[in-house]
Structure 1
Amino acid sequence: MEDEQILEALNAHWQASAAGDINTEHDIYDDDVICDYPQSGERIFGRSNLQALRGHHPGKPSGFRVRRILGKADIWITEYTINYQGQTAFTVSIMEFRDRKVIHETQYFADPFEAPAWRSQWVEPIE
């Protein structure tokens, strides 16, 4: 699969996720996908379980913004923010493709934190 096709599939996936289109969102996954959430120690086996888990999330996203997508060949990384019930999570998704479908995804979620004042002379705020 060419990089442009994967990027197109990823853009469709993230747009569907942001719109709450759970069926289109999960078209990108292989039936036997494995999705890991290392921070909670969970592993989800199979597209149907992943879709069911996400479909039963008690709070629908109220905001979603892809910051950037990087990748080549079979490994792709997406950085994005997602808002659930007034809380922003900075998220990284690492996807491994085979035969035009995601066979493994790992997602990391991080809460925002206040930047310490002592380093203000060396940094600029990110919008």
Structure 2
Amino acid sequence: MPTAHEVFNTRFVKAMNERNYDEYEALLTDDYVGEYPQSGEVIRGAKNARAIVEHYPGGLPQDNIDTRSTRIAATDARWVRTPTFTFVRAEGTGNVGVSAVRARYPDGSAWWVVNFYELRDGRLARSTTFFAPAFEAPDWRKPFVEQREAPAER
């Protein structure tokens, strides 16, 4: 049986992938605070968080394309599909949790998104999000590790 953290994160990722901005915003508290430590940005309020995902460069026009199963790429002169996300894992105790998500961006790059978060009344109240690109393992570590299939495509 899925945990409350798995259920929440599954809904969150689904809203992102389906570009369901109303659902996305409803999953955040009105006074939501999100931090991106790598860039120094702080997002205040659910409306600003929604605006960020709605205004992602190269956003997809709303038409009859099934965004759940179609990946679209194009030149810089044309629109491209915004990032697609795959929920990987969520762990938490009470209202505090951490999640891992794989992201595929329009340029084809694969990233890990790790989010430390706090829920309030089943909604996201606070988050600290880190973005990390997938990369090839360096040769110098080969004698000390086992290589498995990379969990995020590079």
Q: Which bin holds the TM-score, normalised by the shorter protein?
A: 0.7 to 0.9
Q: How far, CA to CA, are the matches of 2:91 and 2:111 in structure 1?
A: 19
Instruction: Extract unaligned runs of 5+ from structure 2.
Output: 59-81
Identity of aligned residues (%): 28
Alignment partner, residue 56 of structure 2: 57
Q: How is 1:1-127 mapped onto 2 (pairs within 5 angstroms)?
A: 4-59=3-58, 60-61=82-83, 63-85=84-106, 86-121=108-143, 122-125=145-148, 126-127=150-151
Structure 1 moving runs of 4+ over 6 Å = none
Looking at CA atoms only, which structure, 1 or 2, has the larger radius of gyration?
2
TM-score (norm 2): 0.73
Measured at CA, do residues 12 and 73 of structure 1 come closer, stay the same or move farther in structure 2, by a change above 3 Å? same
- What SS does the corresponding residue of 1:43 show, helix, strand or coil? strand
Deviations 1:19-72 (A, max 9, x none): 2222212221100000101101000100001101111001411x3212211112
Structure with the bigger percentage of strand: 1
TM-score (norm 1): 0.87
Once superposed, what is the RMSD of the aligned Cα atoms? 1.7
Q: How far, CA to CA, are the matches of 1:94 and 1:74 in structure 2?
A: 11
> Quick check: 1:29–1:102 contact (8 Å CA) kept in 2?
yes
Instruction: Extract unaligned runs of 5+ from structure 1.
Output: none
CA-CA distance at 1:99 after TM superposition? 2.4
Give the aligned length: 124
> Quick check: 1:13–1:26 contact (8 Å CA) kept in 2?
no
Q: How far, CA to CA, are the matches of 1:25 and 1:107 in structure 2?
A: 16
CA-CA distance at 1:8 after TM superposition? 2.0
- What SS does the corresponding residue of 1:23 show, helix, strand or coil? helix
Measured at CA, do residues 114 and 4 of structure 1 come closer, stay the same or move farther in structure 2, by a change above 3 Å? closer
Instruction: Single out whichever of 27-36 and 9-18 deviates more from structure 2.
Output: 9-18
